[in-house]
Chain A
Amino acid sequence: MTVDVAIILTPFIFAALTPVLYRFISKKYIGWLVLSVSFILFLFLTTYIPRISDGEVVAFTHEWIPSLGIHFTTYLDGLSLIFSLLITGVGSLVILYSIFYLSRSEQLYHFYCYLLLFMGAMLGVVLSDNLMVLYGFWELTSVSSFLLIAYWHHRKASRAGARKSMIITVAGGISMLAGFLMLYEMSKTLSIREIIGNVEAIQEHALFVPALVLILLGAFTKSAQFPFYIWLPDAMEAPTPVSAYLHSATMVKAGIYLVARLTPVFGGEALWFWLVTGVGLFTLFWGSFNAVKQVDLKALLAFSTVSQLGLIMSLLGMGSVAVYLGNSSETIIYTQAAFAAIFHLINHSTFKGALFMMVGIIDHELGTRDIRRLGGLMSFMPLTFTIALIGSFSMAGLPPFNGFLSKEMFFAATLHIQELNIFSLDSIGFLIPIVAWIASVFTFVYCLIIVGKTFFGKVQLHLLAKHPHEAPIGMLISPYTLIVFVVGIFFFPNLLGHYILRPAMASIYPTFPTTQELTPHIHAWHGIFSPELWMTIFVIVVGILLYRLLKRWKPIYRALPQNLSLNSLFNNGISFSESFSNRVTGRYMTGNLTDYFVYIFLAFLMIVGGYFLQTDIFSWSPVDRESLEVFEIILVLIMIASSVGILFAKSRITTVFLSSVLGYSVAFFFIVFRAPDLALTQLVVESVSTVLYLICFRHLPEIRKEIQPKWIKMRNIFISLAVGATVTLVGFAALNYEKFITISYFFNDSYELAGGKNIVNTILGDFRAFDTMLEVVVLFIAGLGVYTLIKLKAKGGGTNEN
């Protein structure tokens, strides 16, 4: 059973090893090594398929922090298996692709290290059963994605894009954490399985809806749903293999995974349905609508990813209706939406991955991916053209590609859902198929743009940096593998449905007894009168029409004001918070040391003095008069006089003289208090310091009269008196404090233990020898500091006579 843990850990181990190994392995082979890691993981995971499709689940628990209920639990069921297969499978293809894509002169081991880190984190997300562990991996994917986006960190846009995605996804992650904690508060367990097990108990809880919203925030930010999608187009600054991996197949699907995973928990709630379906549908429309106006191929694909993610999200939302309705033969039809969601998820990973790699090839071979400069490449790059054609048509929902099947199922689901009369669907439910249909038209249009503007039309050789030519075979293997899946799934969808999708359905609908019914038989042909077929046909007709008239209606994109867009909102928000915090910090960080001292003393007053005031632990016991002898009183008077004298001393010699008087008086006090060692030390130290002061005065100027405003003086006097008073109070309190037993009796037998008659010495030299040793170290460091400060010449024209 520990094997599952190994699946998660292997990428991390190799991520740690890669920076070490690169010294021994040539850059040529490091990619192959990483490829083998991920491919072996993929093969290993495929061996689970038969077991999982038999309805088995593989779970393993390692008790990590039992006191907090945090266990390292891996849980492999149908849903997890799909995702982990995608992660390792697409991961292997992407690594293979990047071996040829990235130049050998780059810091490859960094790249592969981050990539493995990401792979491990992602596997951790989908295989963890414990919410806290899942959250940890979730944030790790954000971090590793940040590193990958900023891989070309010399480019400003890369850094900006990385920062943006980091801020948005981590902010979502934190809100998700809050939601998880609420779930824990309600169900008293962190295990997702156990939470699903007692859904009824938590549904009535007051925190149920806040938890739902917060967790959805996390999922929406990660899966680039409206209005958080803005990080995804900016993240396209990453190297193309990264975009193909993170931003089409895996990371953006983490949010989908979470929604699918938690559907059994929240699915019965109307808010969940409307949030997931509504946001998904709007994102679907908005993404496809905005994709049409893009001129950068990669940005176009980014918006199309946003839109497709919205599609999957909305399907999951529609599928959640079945949880609300409960298990019956009529409701089974609504589960098909969720089925379509997972199906489309796989399809999307295949065709979008291929398309991203296609764009990468164009970028790599031509040096540009701006569709205004591309065109007519079909004759130069026929193989790449094939990838683009199949990928785009699958995305557009045309046969004979897998996108057609899931798109038809999507249309069918929207048609089914509008017939329901729950959740006020009877009033506005009719909008769902309409929005879906409009969005599909735009999807069709931008798919035509990808193919048409790049491969048809006139060649503009003078605009291209390089002469167009076909890509090397190595870069074509991966996209072609995906293309084979795109076509293969169309012809054999039920193979996939039976072995992969059916167990996943069991994870989404654990309360539904038979998974056999949950798995519809996927047909390509629904009959000539099926509404979804006609929807597709109209999409094609209208889509071609719109593509032809693209120039006519494109101006509507300018109708939206620039400064109101989400991007500028985000940028303004960031720059405002930066300047605001700068102002606030600048106000108290004055750069004046005195001010900082004031803060320290005020904090001391507030914490110590405030505590004393609040807890009222003053104690007062006057010193027994008879023990004070005459010369002690004289000593006290001398000390008071000299210390107050320091304040008023005009010349620095007087100051030092008075402070020496103070020091020597302290030494005398030590004698009075039966501490001969202290007195000796104090005398020596005081003498040496006085000499030091005097030496320093040779080099330092005379103390000038301080001209300060009255209020500053008053403030200083007030603070000083208050601090003095507080310390006095503390002293009195300490004097009468006898709650701890004394530990000094330890040292009574110092002669037997340490062989010394001087107890103070034995404490320092034997009982607390380590303290003394460290004290010597402090002295040594100080001496080193003194030496270097005197000897080293200051940089930049320091005038040092020594």
Chain B
Amino acid sequence: MIILIGILVSVATYLILSRNMIRIIIGTAVLSHAVNLLIMTSGGLKTGNVPLLGHGDGPFTDALPQALILTAIVISFATTAFLLVLAYRTYKTNGSDDFNELRGMSDE
């Protein structure tokens, strides 16, 4: 599981280091998947029942990481959406989605 996370992080890093905006955005999405899984794993995997009271008896899996990840998923979605629109605007205004070409804007 951890190895899978490591691979995901590597892929995400490589994507972020590329010059294309879409690839960078997808990279951040992949990175957030990796982090979510990492949190999940650190909470202990499959150690108990679904954390719903009344659905079987304990022990339950750790509910805290789940709550954290739920927050993280939503926020990463918001970030992704925002970045996408930002990319769209940048492309509309500057006519390029390549960060190498976007450097050194005149109004910096």
Known interface pairs A643-B30, A646-B30, A720-B13; A692-B7 also in contact (CB < 8 Å): no
CB-based contact A703/B53 at 8 Å: no
Interface size of A in residues (CB-CB distance below 8 Å): 91
CB-based contact B17/A720 at 8 Å: yes
CB-based contact A674/B48 at 8 Å: yes
Known interface pairs A655-B22, A744-B62, A764-B67; A700-B87 also in contact (CB < 8 Å): yes
Give A431 Cβ to nearest chain B Cβ, in Å. Answer: 59
Q: Which residues of B contact A673 (CB under 8 A)?
A: 40, 45-46, 61
Give the residue name and chain of the A residue nearest to B72 (CB). Answer: A775
CB-based contact B80/A692 at 8 Å: yes
Give A23 Cβ to nearest chain B Cβ, in Å. Answer: 37
- Within 63-89 of B, Cβ neighbours of A (below 8 Å) are at 63-64, 66-67, 69-71, 73-75, 77-82, 84-89
Give the residue name and chain of the B residue nearest to A655 (CB). Answer: B26
Q: Which residues of A contact B41 (CB under 8 A)?
A: 731, 735
Q: Determine the distance from Cα of A728 to Cα of B3 in the docked complex, in whole angstroms.
A: 6
Q: Which residues of A contact B87 (CB under 8 A)?
A: 696, 700
Give A95 Cβ to nearest chain B Cβ, in Å. Answer: 46
Q: Determine the distance from Cα of A704 to Cα of B108 in the docked complex, in whole angstroms.
A: 26
Known interface pairs A659-B26, A775-B71; A759-B2 also in contact (CB < 8 Å): no
CB-based contact B100/A592 at 8 Å: yes
Q: Which residues of A contact B5 (CB under 8 A)?
A: 727-728, 731
Q: Which DSSP category, helix, strand, loop or mixed, fits chain B's interface? A: helix
CB-based contact B36/A666 at 8 Å: yes
CB 8 Å contact bits of A689-714 with B (1 = contact, 0 = none): 10011001001110110101000000
CB-based contact A670/B40 at 8 Å: yes
Q: Which DSSP category, helix, strand, loop or mixed, fits chain A's interface? A: helix
CB-based contact A758/B71 at 8 Å: no
Give the residue name and chain of the A residue nearest to B76 (CB). Answer: A685
Q: From B11, B19, B88, give the contact of A646 (CB < 8 A).
A: B11
Q: Which residues of B contact A652 (CB under 8 A)?
A: 22
Query: Residue A760 at the B interface, CB < 8 A?
Result: yes
CB 8 Å contact bits of B22-57 with A (1 = contact, 0 = none): 111010011001101110111001101111111000
Interface size of B in residues (CB-CB distance below 8 Å): 81
CB-based contact B26/A677 at 8 Å: no
Give B92 Cβ to nearest chain A Cβ, in Å. Answer: 6
CB-based contact B97/A700 at 8 Å: yes
CB-based contact B13/A744 at 8 Å: no
CB-based contact B81/A728 at 8 Å: no
Q: From A597, A688, A735, A772, give the contact of B17 (CB < 8 A).
A: A597
Query: Residue A644 at the B interface, CB < 8 A?
Result: yes
Q: Which residues of B contact A676 (CB under 8 A)?
A: 50, 52
Q: From B6, B20, B97, give the contact of A725 (CB < 8 A).
A: B6
Q: Which residues of A contact B84 (CB under 8 A)?
A: 692-693, 696
Give the residue name and chain of the B residue nearest to A700 (CB). Answer: B91
Q: From A672, A720, A785, give the contact of B10 (CB < 8 A).
A: A720
Known interface pairs A670-B40, A678-B70, A700-B87; A717-B6 also in contact (CB < 8 Å): no
Known interface pairs A659-B29, A703-B20, A743-B64; A759-B6 also in contact (CB < 8 Å): no
Known interface pairs A666-B37, A673-B61, A719-B13; A775-B30 also in contact (CB < 8 Å): no
Q: From B19, B60, B104, give the contact of A759 (CB < 8 A).
A: B60
Give the residue name and chain of the B residue nearest to A682 (CB). Answer: B73
Give B71 Cβ to nearest chain A Cβ, in Å. Answer: 5
CB-based contact A768/B11 at 8 Å: no
Query: Residue A436 at the B interface, CB < 8 A?
Result: no
Query: Residue A550 at the B interface, CB < 8 A?
Result: no
Q: Which residues of B contact A172 (CB under 8 A)?
A: none
Binds B, one of A376-384, A402-410, A786-794: A786-794
Query: Residue A213 at the B interface, CB < 8 A?
Result: no
Q: Determine the distance from Cα of A800 to Cα of B85 in the docked complex, in whole angstroms.
A: 13
CB-based contact B2/A728 at 8 Å: yes
Query: Residue A778 at the B interface, CB < 8 A?
Result: yes
Give A428 Cβ to nearest chain B Cβ, in Å. Answer: 60
CB 8 Å contact bits of A716-737 with B (1 = contact, 0 = none): 1101110111011001101100
Query: Residue A423 at the B interface, CB < 8 A?
Result: no
Give A705 Cβ to nearest chain B Cβ, in Å. Answer: 10
Query: Residue A530 at the B interface, CB < 8 A?
Result: no
Query: Residue A636 at the B interface, CB < 8 A?
Result: yes
CB-based contact A720/B14 at 8 Å: yes
Q: Determine the distance from Cα of A594 to Cα of B16 in the docked complex, in whole angstroms.
A: 8
CB-based contact B46/A764 at 8 Å: no
Give B66 Cβ to nearest chain A Cβ, in Å. Answer: 5
Give B75 Cβ to nearest chain A Cβ, in Å. Answer: 6
CB-based contact B9/A727 at 8 Å: yes
CB-based contact B75/A779 at 8 Å: yes
CB 8 Å contact bits of A762-800 with B (1 = contact, 0 = none): 011000100110010011001101100110001000111
Q: Which residues of A contact B34 (CB under 8 A)?
A: 727
Q: Determine the distance from Cα of A681 to Cα of B75 in the docked complex, in whole angstroms.
A: 12
- Within 580-619 of A, Cβ neighbours of B (below 8 Å) are at 590-594, 597-598, 601
Q: Which residues of A contact B62 (CB under 8 A)?
A: 742, 744
Q: From B38, B97, B103, give the contact of A701 (CB < 8 A).
A: B97
Give B64 Cβ to nearest chain A Cβ, in Å. Answer: 5
CB-based contact A794/B81 at 8 Å: no
Give the residue name and chain of the A residue nearest to B20 (CB). Answer: A703
Q: From A593, A640, A666, A701, give the contact of B91 (CB < 8 A).
A: A701
CB-based contact B29/A663 at 8 Å: yes
CB-based contact B103/A592 at 8 Å: yes
Give B18 Cβ to nearest chain A Cβ, in Å. Answer: 6
Q: Determine the distance from Cα of A771 to Cα of B100 in the docked complex, in whole angstroms.
A: 38
Of listed A594, A688, A757, residue having the most chain B CB within 10 A: A594
Q: Determine the distance from Cα of A743 to Cα of B64 in the docked complex, in whole angstroms.
A: 8
Q: Which residues of B contact A507 (CB under 8 A)?
A: none
Q: Determine the distance from Cα of A659 to Cα of B30 in the docked complex, in whole angstroms.
A: 7
Q: Determine the distance from Cα of A693 to Cα of B85 in the docked complex, in whole angstroms.
A: 10
CB-based contact B64/A689 at 8 Å: no
Query: Residue A747 at the B interface, CB < 8 A?
Result: yes
CB-based contact A759/B16 at 8 Å: no
Q: Determine the distance from Cα of A598 to Cα of B13 in the docked complex, in whole angstroms.
A: 9
Give A406 Cβ to nearest chain B Cβ, in Å. Answer: 59
Known interface pairs A681-B70, A685-B74, A798-B92; A706-B108 also in contact (CB < 8 Å): no
Q: Which residues of A contact B86 (CB under 8 A)?
A: 785, 789
Give B70 Cβ to nearest chain A Cβ, in Å. Answer: 6
Q: Determine the distance from Cα of A655 to Cα of B15 in the docked complex, in whole angstroms.
A: 11
User: 6 new A-B pairs (CB below 8 Å) besides A594-B99, A779-B74, A794-B89?
Assistant: A689-B29, A692-B80, A724-B7, A763-B67, A785-B86, A786-B81
When A and B form their complex, which 7 residue pairs have the shortest distance between CB atoms, in order from nearest? A724-B10, A728-B6, A782-B78, A591-B103, A720-B13, A720-B14, A763-B67
B contact residues vs A (CB 8 Å cutoff):
1-11, 13-24, 26, 29-30, 33-34, 36-38, 40-42, 45-46, 48-54, 58, 60-64, 66-67, 69-71, 73-75, 77-82, 84-89, 91-93, 97-100, 102-105, 108
